[in-house]
Structures are given as structure tokens and as C-alpha cells.
Structure 1
Amino acid sequence: MGLGALVMAVGAIDAVQAQTSSKLQEVLQRGKLIVGTGSTNPPWHFRDEKGQLAGFDIDIAKIIAKGLFNDTNKIEFVTQASDARIPNITTGKVDITCQFMTVTAARAQQVAFTLPYYREGVGLLLLKGGSYANYDALKAAGDKVTIAVLQNVYAEEMVHQALPEAKVDQYDSVDLIYQALNSKRADAAATDMSSLRWFMKQNAGRYQDAGYAWNPQTYSCAVKLGDPDWLNFVNIALREAMLGVEFSEYKASFERWFGEAPPEPKIGFPSELR
């Protein structure tokens, strides 16, 4: 055998070995998907009244499991703290992390991010029938308005991106910012849009969205670097949930946790290719 043929043969063997060693094959042979997620942050991941994990992240994981096994129950969830999301992927403790993980360029050096399944942002929650009807009214009021926000080193700067003149009161927990709004010590509460939508759904008719969101963050699942077959499979499962054959399941979950329907995929030319 000539040198060129030998090189080609070795390359072919390496390609076959790469295919058979993919996480995709490992998961299929194991018969279950191992997912890293959280358990304390509704509407993303939390324990329901039966003690079962529930939330949008949990539903996303089930969509992936259905794509693998046509069975949403073939999952083992590993509950983990936020700071374990990347280590548990890189060490192989979990096959995938679905835990409201913000995509950043720095993190993409450590893990491979999937297609995004949600875009987070900050919104303003108002009491229905309160002193200010919407964002424009809050902004026009200048320094007369007080905004309650979760304590953070960037909290005041973040609020002032939307309302430059507003007073900012910081609180130790999300519950306290809602209490400040309810007692009218604050005119609005600045919080994640997902939390705002969830809270409005749980308290129908009591609150309203001010109609303005900012500070976007992309949420994706994450897998180990260097396995294109596994990443490609997960991306297809997510894409077809958001745009194709599994859209009804994604839509039902989105409505359940956020109280609104995502836009229907357009029939005809695939809009994502524009």
C-alpha cells in the first residue's frame, strides 16, 4: 500500500471511530439522556407541588429526549448550582446543560452552545390601574418615579439605561421588589422578562407590563466541545421544536410558563435562512 493510500485509510478509520464515539451514540446506547439543570428558579426549573422538576428548561430537555427516544421520560436530571453548569459538561457528568444559561463569547471557549431557545431581557412590572400606565409615562415622570430592583453591583446602571432619572431602590430578594410595588413604595419593579411574565400569569389581572424591555441575553443549552454530531442533533431537535414538526409542544410550554404564544412559523420559504 502506498503512503497516500495509507494516509487515506487511517483517515477513514479515524472518521469511523469519531462517529462511534460521539455522545449521540453513547446516549442512544445508554437509553436515557442525562441533563444538568436547576431546581429553584421558576418558571425555568423548580419543584412542583408533587416534588417533580418543572419549568421551561425541563420542557426543553424533554423535547430533546423525545427526539432521541420518542419518549420524554427517558431523562435523568442532575440538579446543579449555576457555577457547576460548565464543569459538569466538561467532565462528562451530564450530557447537556439546560439551565437558563446566558451565551457569552468567554463561555463559548469552554462549552459548545446550542441554538438559542429564549431571549431574556429586563422589563418593568406595574400595578394595573396604578399611577403610571406604561413605560412612556414612567420616563416622562423623570426623578419622580422609584424603581425596585434586585440588589446587584450593576443594578442602578441597568435601570438608568431605560429610565435615566429614576430613583432606584435595591432589595435582597425578588419577593421584596414585588412587595415594594404592592405597597406603592416603588412605582415599578425591574426584573427579568421571563419572571415578569410568569408573575403576571400567576396573578392574572393584578399587574401589567410597562411595554419596554432592554438588556438582551441569549439562553441556550450547552454541550461539550468537539462533538459536532451531538451538537448537530440537539440543534435539529431544538430548531424543529421552534420552527417545525414539534412546534405545538414548544408553543404549549411557552404559553404555560410565560402566558403568551410565540410567533407561528411561516409556511413557505424558511424564514431563518433570510
Structure 2
Amino acid sequence: MRARRLRTGLKGWGGVGAMAVACALAVLFALLLPVARADGGSDGTDSGGHGVARGSQARAAEECTDPEKQTLPPAGDDGPTIDEIRGREGEKRKLIVGVDQNSYRWGYRDPNSGGDAELEGFDIDLVRRIAEDILGDRNAVQFKAIPTDQRIPAIQDGRVDMVVRTMTINCDRLTDVAFSAPYFRTGQQVLAPKSSDITGYDGTLAGKDICTAAGSTALSTLRQDRADGRLAEGVDLRTTVPNQLDCLVRLQLGEVDAVVTDGALAASQAAQDPTVELKGDAFTTEYYGVAMKKDADDLVRRVNQILVQWRADEAEGWQRSYERWLSRTMGGDPAKSEPPTPPQYLREG
């Protein structure tokens, strides 16, 4: 029987006291938010009414190979999407970007930074670089905090120009949105208490309850692995949450035995809570990309050009952002996290 206790020792946003407050608030919101309980079956359907659409998406995904390469070549030309962004007047002349505000070192608000605790992190650096290139002002950004399961709807509904939120490029998502070239390499990994007998993505997960974020690559991967017989027997996948950080709270409360998410995010969460750790190696290879509307070809090309420049900038580019935000959680050697060099652009405009 699982222990129903709150794990102590949360740290990592610059002070134990501040993080205690942040954790308490996170627990409160998590308890108030209903947990989405999917049926946990092996039929591969997601909650939220997407069952009908997934049939055609699955067929399209079967024809997709190397999703990280399915993007347009870089170019600096303007087009209708960029013209629309630049045409906004006054205070509205900003790039509207969907981000996370709860992912430590990626997109988060540091309560110890003073003032308004502005968003900061690796993804935020990239957003500001894009805004500087398109609008000439790195601060010309309207950030919109969106949950994991709302990333694609926010793009399709026109609520944001793009999403920069540790979003994995995969074949299913390419049926709904366009992606830039990869800007970060990662893979799915298991996060569990240090005291747990779980050793990784293996038979030690048998009979365990695992938390994932609704609409995440982790959830779809686990469901597919169960359908293919690769997931340990008796794993319960019913606990899904709107935001991935909520899984850490569930783990701290003893409501689940483990979390599966991108290794980069898991490393940040392990840095926040010294009672949990990554178990085993990453069991997939995936890439983060900037997501945009499918028909925003000019914006996709421009973002890909910006990514080339960002990677090449030794002073304030990709390497500097890694050192600033991620070296403390992922290690000083960024080689395993670097996207493919050179990137490939296989999509035809």
C-alpha cells in the first residue's frame, strides 16, 4: 500500500523557504484541480474528445519518418504571417508565445528574483531571440502560460503565434501543427523516489501507478508500448494532469509511484526535490521544436534561420543559454543535448 505522505525537502528556486511556499501553493492547486482519469486501456485514445480524429492522424503518422527533419529550409524573407505580427499597433505589437511558467530552468518565475518575478529559462531565452529578430525588440513578447494539453489547441485557435514549451516533435503532432528544426535533444525517462525499488523503464514498473501529463509524448509512448507488449504488466496509466509539474506534486503526496516525462524536465524536477531521482537511462530519443500553424511557412522558415544563428552565436547563443540555465541540472557537457548538426530540412513548401 502506497504511503500517503507529503515528501519533504523541496528546493531549487533559490531558497528553501521560497520553494516551500511555492510547493505549498502547487499542492493546493493540484488538490483543487481534478485529476483526469483516463480509462487506462490499450486502445490508444486520448481524453478530451479526440478519438474520432485520431484515426486519420494515426494513418498520417504511419507515413511519417524522421519527424525532426520534416521542416522547411531557413529563409529571412517576410510573408503574410510575419507581416501580420509586425502590423500590430501600439502595445499589441508583440510576438504572442505560449510558454510554461512552472518548468524550473526552462520557463519559470523565480520567486527570489525580486520585482515581478519575470519569466526566465532556456525556452524564454529562445523566445526573446525570436522577438528580437522579427520585431527588433527582445522584450516585445506577450507570454501566455498554457498547460501541456493546450499547446496544440492554442496554436490552432490563433491564441498564440507559436509555442516554445519543451514540445517534442513527433509524427502525430505534425498532422496538426508545423515545427521548426530541433533546438534540443532529450528522451523519455522515469522519475521516482530515491527509496523506491524502481530501477528504470523495466520490469520494476510492474503494478506501479505512473503519472503523465495529458497530451504529452510520455502518455502516448506508454500507451503504445503497452499495446505492443513492451510495458511492464499491470502498470496503471490513469493518473494524468494538465501540467507536467503536477505529476511531481502527485509523487510527493504518495499518490503515484513514478513519473514519466522528458529527461530534461525530469532532471529539473529532481533538482527541486532531493528525495526523488532519475531512474535508469532515457528510453527514447526525441527533439524539442518550436510549434506554429501548419500554413505559417514564412514564420517557420524565419524561426529556422534564427535557430541557425542562435546555435552559431558563441557569446549569447544556445551554448550560453545551456550554461546559464541547464548545466546545474543536466551537467556541464551539453553534447548529449545538442540538436542534429547540420539540421535537415525535408519538408517541401
- Fold match by TM threshold 0.5: yes
- Kept in 1: contact 2:163–2:292 (CA 8 A): yes
Aligned pairs for 1:1-274 within 5 A: 21-28=79-86, 30=88, 32-42=94-104, 44-49=106-111, 50-69=116-135, 71-82=137-148, 84-90=150-156, 92-125=158-191, 127-128=193-194, 130=195, 135=200, 147-150=208-211, 164=232, 174=247, 175-180=249-254, 186=257, 189-192=258-261, 193-203=263-273, 206-245=275-314, 246-255=317-326, 258-261=329-332, 262-263=334-335, 271-272=341-342
Larger Rg: 1
Cα gap change, 1:104 to 1:157, in 2 (>3 Å) = closer
- Kept in 1: contact 2:197–2:204 (CA 8 A): no
Taking the aligned partners of 1:144 and 1:133, their CA distance within structure 2 comes to 6
Query: Greater helix percent: which structure?
Result: 1
Matched residue count:
242
Query: Greater strand percent: which structure?
Result: 1
Offset at 1:127?
4.9
Offset at 1:39?
3.8
Cα gap change, 1:198 to 1:27, in 2 (>3 Å) = same
Offset at 1:263?
1.8
Q: What RMSD in Å do the two structures reach over aligned CA positions?
A: 4.3
SS at match of 1:213: coil
Offset at 1:105?
3.1
Taking the aligned partners of 1:64 and 1:106, their CA distance within structure 2 comes to 26
Which position in structure 1 is the counterpart of 2:9? Answer: none
SS at match of 2:342: helix
Taking the aligned partners of 2:132 and 2:156, their CA distance within structure 1 comes to 24
Code of the residue aligned with 1:233 in structure 2: it is R
Code of the residue aligned with 1:222 in structure 2: it is A
- Kept in 2: contact 1:125–1:208 (CA 8 A): yes
Taking the aligned partners of 2:196 and 2:295, their CA distance within structure 1 comes to 54
1:108-166 per-residue CA deviation (whole Å, 9 max, x = no partner) reads 244321112234433233555x576954xx95xx5697645216887587589777368
Offset at 1:233?
1.5
Cα gap change, 1:126 to 1:223, in 2 (>3 Å) = closer
Taking the aligned partners of 2:264 and 2:277, their CA distance within structure 1 comes to 13
Taking the aligned partners of 1:265 and 1:106, their CA distance within structure 2 comes to 23
Which position in structure 2 is the counterpart of 1:4? Answer: none
Cα gap change, 1:70 to 1:121, in 2 (>3 Å) = same
5+ residue gaps, structure 1: 1-18
Offset at 1:42?
4.6
Code of the residue aligned with 2:320 in structure 1: it is E
Code of the residue aligned with 1:194 in structure 2: it is A
5+ residue gaps, structure 2: 1-76, 241-245, 345-349
Cα gap change, 1:58 to 1:124, in 2 (>3 Å) = same
Taking the aligned partners of 1:209 and 1:244, their CA distance within structure 2 comes to 32
Which position in structure 2 is the counterpart of 1:14? Answer: none
SS at match of 1:214: coil
1:208-261 per-residue CA deviation (whole Å, 9 max, x = no partner) reads 433311244443212233343321211122233345442333323551684434
Task: Out of 191-200 and 83-92, give the one that drifted further.
Answer: 83-92
- Kept in 2: contact 1:254–1:260 (CA 8 A): no
Q: TM-score, normalised by structure 1?
A: 0.64
Taking the aligned partners of 2:310 and 2:126, their CA distance within structure 1 comes to 9
Which position in structure 2 is the counterpart of 1:10? Answer: none
Code of the residue aligned with 1:248 in structure 2: it is Q
Taking the aligned partners of 2:277 and 2:159, their CA distance within structure 1 comes to 42
